């Protein structure tokens, strides 16, 4: 009888364990649920989200580029086919306005990743400056004189702009030919876009530079540049400029830009009006079909 008691006790313990396990499986679990995985980044959820303008498919598009800064606003509207701001063919239209003049530009454009070609026309009317009486040298006082009629012009332009990868940076090269018309006979005109006094009709411009990323700031680049601007209709009409172009890319939509290229040599003494200080502000880009 004494031998059976341990066996009975062991059997009772086993039976109690089995019943407890079945009861536990029947009752709702009080354990915390497993954490859900974090959501995937947006560019995995939506394949149309792109980080650069070189991605995506070629398509018809409408785009805008707005340059805004101190005393200037330059919106540009483009209609074309391809990849906006990268590889495309189409037309550009943009108003031109600043503290001294107003006008517009329209033309055709063909862009590749490293080369950009445009041909167009730009009428301009100055409500501050007047036509200039020809002189060997124009000074700041003559440029601001008010005796002559208000200045206006129509410039036909062809330009090629290249940014070619070489070493750690890019070679920047630009060539532009402008044919300036609609200037009253017997006068010269201060060309607002080129920032130079023109004896019509021709103005030729060439720029060479090298853009380097700033160490530790890969989205920021500095480009020392050298400019030559020639006005064949003037004696000693060659001007030289040198300076720097700064660019900080915040996103594919937004960047900060600055152009500081003062005059080294010129037949005129018109101060800052003779240098290329055309940008110090923000550039915003947008296109349909993003």
Residue by residue, pLDDT tens for the chain (290 residues) are 444 455 545 545 454 554 454 444 444 444 444 444 444 443 333 344 456 888 888 999 999 999 887 777 889 999 999 999 999 999 999 998 777 788 999 999 999 999 999 999 999 999 889 999 999 999 999 999 999 999 999 999 999 999 999 999 999 999 999 999 999 999 999 988 888 999 999 999 999 999 999 888 878 999 999 999 999 999 888 999 999 999 999 888 999 999 999 999 999 999 888 887 766 789 999 999 87
Residue 29 covered by a domain = no
The domain tally of the chain equals: 1
> Is 175 contained in some domain?
yes
- Distances in Å between the alpha carbon of 184 and those of 45, 152, 189, 202, 216? 61, 8, 9, 15, 53
Is 230 a member of any domain?
yes
- Reported as a single tens digit per residue, the pLDDT across 172-209 is 999 999 999 999 999 999 988 888 999 999 999 999 99
Instruction: Please indicate, yes or no, if residue 73 is contained in any of the structural domains.
Output: no
Q: What's the pLDDT tens digit per position in 151-176?
A: 999 999 999 999 999 999 999 999 99
In a domain, 21, yes or no: no
> Which residue in 194, 266, 272 sits closest to 234, CA to CA?
266
CATH code at position 194: 2.40.160
Pairing status of strand 87-98 against strand 101-111? antiparallel
Helix (H) or strand (E) holding 289: none
- For residue 36, being part of any structural domain is answered with no
Cis amide prior to 201 (ω within 30 degrees)? yes
Domain that holds residue 117: 78-287
* Cβ contacts of 41 within 8 Å, gap of 6 or more: none
Q: Which residue has the tokens 């079945």?
A: 22
pLDDT in tens, 249-270: 988 899 999 999 999 999 999 9
Residue 23, domain member (yes or no): no
Dig out the tokens for 10 from the structure: 């062991």
Q: How far apart are CA 193 and CA 96, in angstroms?
A: 9
pTM over 0.85, yes/no: no
Q: Quick check: is 142 in a domain?
A: yes
């Amino acid at each position: 009888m004494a031998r059976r008691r341990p066996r009975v006790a062991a059997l009772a313990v086993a039976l109690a364990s089995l019943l407890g396990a079945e009861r536990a499986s029947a009752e709702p679990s009080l354990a915390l649920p497993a954490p859900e995985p974090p959501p995937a980044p947006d560019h995995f959820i939506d394949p149309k989200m792109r980080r650069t303008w070189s991605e995506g498919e070629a398509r018809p598009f409408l785009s805008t580029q707005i340059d805004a800064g101190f005393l200037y606003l330059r919106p540009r509207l483009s209609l074309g086919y391809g990849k906006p701001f990268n590889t495309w063919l189409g037309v550009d239209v943009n108003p031109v306005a600043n503290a001294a003049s107003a006008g517009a530009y329209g033309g055709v454009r063909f862009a590749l990743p490293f080369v950009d070609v445009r041909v167009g026309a730009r009428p301009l009317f100055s409500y501050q400056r007047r036509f200039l009486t020809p002189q060997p040298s124009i000074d700041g006082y003559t440029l601001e004189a008010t005796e002559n009629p208000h200045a206006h012009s129509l410039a036909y332009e062809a330009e090629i702009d290249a940014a070619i990868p070489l070493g750690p940076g890019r070679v920047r090269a630009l060539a532009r030919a402008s044919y300036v018309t609609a200037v009253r006979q017997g006068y010269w005109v201060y060309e607002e876009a080129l920032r130079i006094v023109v004896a019509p009709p021709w103005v030729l411009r060439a720029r060479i530079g090298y853009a380097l990323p700033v160490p530790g700031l890969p989205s920021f680049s500095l480009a020392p540049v050298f400019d030559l601007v020639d006005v064949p209709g003037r004696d000693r009409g060659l001007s030289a400029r040198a300076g720097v172009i700064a660019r900080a890319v915040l996103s594919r939509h937004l960047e900060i830009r600055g152009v500081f290229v003062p005059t080294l040599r010129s037949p005129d003494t018109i101060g800052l009006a003779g240098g290329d200080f055309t940008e110090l502000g923000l550039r915003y880009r947008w296109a349909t079909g993003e």
